[in-house]
Amino acid sequence: MDTIISLKDISRSFPGVQALDKVSFDVKAGSVHALVGANGAGKSTLMKILAGALPANSGSIVLDGVEYSPANPNQAIQAGVSTIYQELNLLSDRTVVQNMTLGHEPARSGVLKKRQARKLTLDVLKRLRADYISPDSVVSRLKVGEKQLVEIGKALLTQCKVLIMDEPTAALNKSESDALFENIQQLKQNGVTILYVSHRLAEIFQIADVVTILRDGKHVLTESIQNVTPESVITAMIGRKLEGIYPPRNNVLGEKVLDVSGLTSEKTFQNISFSVKAGEVVAITGLTGSGKTELCKAIFGDFPIDSGTVKFFDRKEIPNPTKAVANRVGYMPEDRKKEGVLEEVSIRRNISLAYLANLANPVGWINKKRESAAAMQQVNDLQIKTPNITQLVRNLSGGNQQKVSLAKWLAAGSRVLILMEPTQGIDVGVKFEIYQLIADLSSKGVGILLVSSEISEILGMAHRILVMHNGDLCANLDGTTTDTEEILFFTFGQKRS
């Protein structure tokens, strides 16, 4: 196979950070080339350079035998390089058709051919097995997974030679992911080269031909997938060996810290009852739209409730965040940037935010020494990678932002934690750190409600696993005895025969 992209000595620095340091490797035409690395390894920077969103400081790229240095994303697309970012770039007030055909709308002498645009869109959605999405729905109404499919469809519609995908399956469920993989195979057969960035090793071994590993901005290896194993990839990524993935479960459970009874929100979830004990990890899983997300939001007061009760410890509360926080309940939302962190605020203030009132005297004067000490402790405990605690959270990588989002509740001394997809879109290294944290917290007696769509992680972590389907709580399983098959069985709403 010919080389389609050849990178030579690509470097790029940001103030205080050498994001890429003389990275060189080749990508073969028509291959699926996986790009992996821990947070801050330089994957995103490299992708942005290829996509024309960021210039390199030095080095050169040859695309199909021609010098390639796009000044902006549009030039990259013209040159045949399309990119699907992890942070979706959709016009949220426009329809699916308008988004997917954006920039290459079918038209004759300036007049849009709407019917054709709609047909093109439908075809792509069908190919993605996502034709349940109406081409006319407004994007802001779609769920995260559906938006991602629109992004992918948008890229499929452009005639590209190289398609860069950044964590495309992060928000997709299994059937959506499978459809995507099929499409990737199809694209590959049509000669399109895929540069695939993912943290999910299983996926990489499923679809990639070649894997390139970056660590701390440097190129570690580029190897055919047959010549590596998951263990060797992880070792290369984090620079050391990983011992046992999931830490052992804490086996000292205490009093009920969260008790939900008969909770109902019209049309979203009905009559949900369960409880969480001190030191217990209770996982909730289910398909997108099963109501698991809304249920957990409702417990924290971020979703309306029609009936039922929520008790934190012994206190019955009509949930709202202020009361929940006062009862030392913490909540790590799914949408980190929009709800989890204050991007333009320092790491210190982000960590102290929920505990700030306790760091102030009655007049409201904040003791900044104590604030810094509290933040410093979390930064050290959670190994948040930052030069100092006055950095803005915006400057942190996704995984470190996630840690900040969690650190806020650790600093506040939360006794109950509601974690929404805490490892979504996070690379393997940080993922294991978060598992370890969850285990540590539970052994300290913190009750944890873990919402996750990743079955392996709930099987590895949870004492009990609740499965939701269509707004009903359809199973309450023992985490140590159940298995993937049983969970999937309930996830898809099957009745046990």
Partner 1 sequence: MKWFQGINRKRILDILGENGFIFIFLIWAIYLSFTTDSFLTSQNIFTVLRQAAIVSIVGIGEMLVMLLGGMDVSLAAILGFSGVFSAGLMVNHGWPVWLALLAGIAMGGLAGAINGFLVTKVKINAVIATLGMMNVLNGIAYTYTGGVTIYGHQMDSIDFLSRGYMGPIPVPVIIMFVFYVVFYLIFNHTLFGAWIYAIGNNEKASWLAGIRVDRMKILAFTVGGLLAGIGGVLQISRQGSATAGMGDEFLFPILTAVILGGISPSGGKGRIQNTLIASIFLVAITNGMVLLGISIYTQRIVSGLILIIALSLDQLRQRSR
Touching partner 1, residues 109-138 (CB under 8 A): none
Nearer to partner 1 by Cβ, of 320 and 456: the residue is 320
Stretch of residues binding partner 1 (CB under 8 A), selected from 180-188, 215-223, 363-371, 438-446: 363-371
CA 218, CA 302: separation in Å to the nearest integer? 43
The one-character DSSP state at 120 is H
Rounded Cα distance between 475 and 469, Å, is: 9
> Binding to partner 1 (CB under 8 A): which residues in 256-315?
300, 302
Which one among 242, 342, 376, 488 touches partner 1, defined by CB under 8 A? 342
Which residue in 52, 340, 398, 479 binds partner 1 (CB under 8 A)? 340
Task: Kindly tell me the burial class for residue 132, based on how many C-beta atoms sit within 10 Å of its own C-beta (0-12, 13-18, 19 or more).
Answer: exposed
User: 186, 178 in Cβ contact below 8 A?
Assistant: no
Contacting residue, 230, 357, 388, 480, with partner 1 by CB under 8 A: 357
Residue given tokens 């024309």 in the structure block = 52
Single residue of 33, 147, 349, 469 touching partner 1 by CB under 8 A: 349
Q: Where are the beta strands (DSSP E) in 29-72?
A: 32-37, 58-63, 66-67
Q: Is 360 in the site for partner 1 (CB under 8 A)?
A: yes
Q: Which of 363, 481, 485, 496 binds partner 1 (CB under 8 A)?
A: 363
Per CB under 8 A, the segment of 86-94, 258-266, 282-290, 317-325 that binds partner 1 is: 317-325
Yes or no: say if 195 and 49 are a contact pair by the CB < 8 Å rule.
no
Size of the site for partner 1 (CB under 8 A): 32
365 binds partner 1 (CB under 8 A): yes
How near is the Cβ of 263 to partner 1 at its closest, in Å? 19
Query: CB under 8 Å to 369, separation ≥6 — which residues?
Result: none
Which residues face 331 on adjacent strands? 418
325 is an interface residue for partner 1 by CB under 8 A: yes
Q: Which of residues 394-423 bind partner 1 (CB under 8 A)?
A: 408
CB closer to partner 1, 143 vs 394: 394
- Could you tell me which stretch among 36-44, 107-115, 271-279, 325-333 binds partner 1 (CB under 8 A)? 325-333
Q: Nearest approach, Cβ of 495 to partner 1 (angstroms)? A: 37
Going by C-beta distance under 8 Å and a sequence separation of 6 or more, which residues neighbour residue 368? none
105, 123, 339, 440: residue in contact with partner 1 (rule CB under 8 A)? 339
**Does residue 321 interact with partner 1 by CB under 8 A?**
yes
13 touches partner 1 by CB under 8 A: yes
Sheet arrangement for strand 464-469:
329-332, 416-420, 447-451, 281-286, 464-469, 472-478
H helix or E strand, kind and range, residue 221? strand 218-224
Which residue in the set 73, 333, 429, 447 belongs to the binding site for partner 1 (CB under 8 A)? Answer: 333
What's the min distance (Å) between Cβ of 18 and partner 1?
Answer: 8
**Beta carbon of residue 344, minimum distance to partner 1 (angstroms, whole number):** 5
Q: Which of 134, 170, 174 has its CA nearest to residue 152?
A: 170
Q: Which residue, 77, 54, 242, is CA-closest to 160?
A: 77
Which one among 126, 315, 368, 444 touches partner 1, defined by CB under 8 A?
368
Query: Least separation, in Å, of the C-beta of 192 and partner 1?
Result: 33
- Under the binding rule (CB under 8 A), the answer on residue 364 touching partner 1 is yes
Helices (H), 63-109: 73-78, 96-100
Name the burial class of residue 480, with classes exposed (0-12), middle (13-18) and buried (19+) by CB atoms within 10 angstroms of its CB.
exposed
Cβ–Cβ < 8 Å for 347, 384: yes
Residue 328 C-beta: closest distance to partner 1, Å = 10
Contacts of 26 (CB under 8 A, 6+ apart): 3, 5, 6, 7, 222
Nearer CB in complex with partner 1: 153/340: 340
Backbone angles phi, psi at 278, to 5 degrees: -60, 135
Determine contact, residues 237/429, Cβ cutoff 8 Å: yes
Judged by CB under 8 A, which of 2, 67, 344, 485 binds partner 1?
344
Which of 345, 413, 456, 484 is the binder for partner 1 (CB under 8 A)? 345
* CA distances for 381 relative to 348, 374, 393, 459, angstroms: 14, 11, 17, 25
- Residue 360, beta-bridge partner list: 366
Minimum separation from the CB atom of position 408 to partner 1 (A): 6
Residue 3 vs 13, nearer CB to partner 1 = 13
Region near partner 1 per CB under 8 A, out of 201-209, 229-237, 306-314, 353-361: 353-361
Task: Identify which of residues 30 and 333 has a Cβ nearer to partner 1 in the complex.
Answer: 333
Residues contributing to the site for partner 1 (CB under 8 A): 13, 15-16, 300, 302, 321-322, 324-326, 331, 333, 338-345, 349, 353-354, 356-357, 360, 363-366, 368, 408
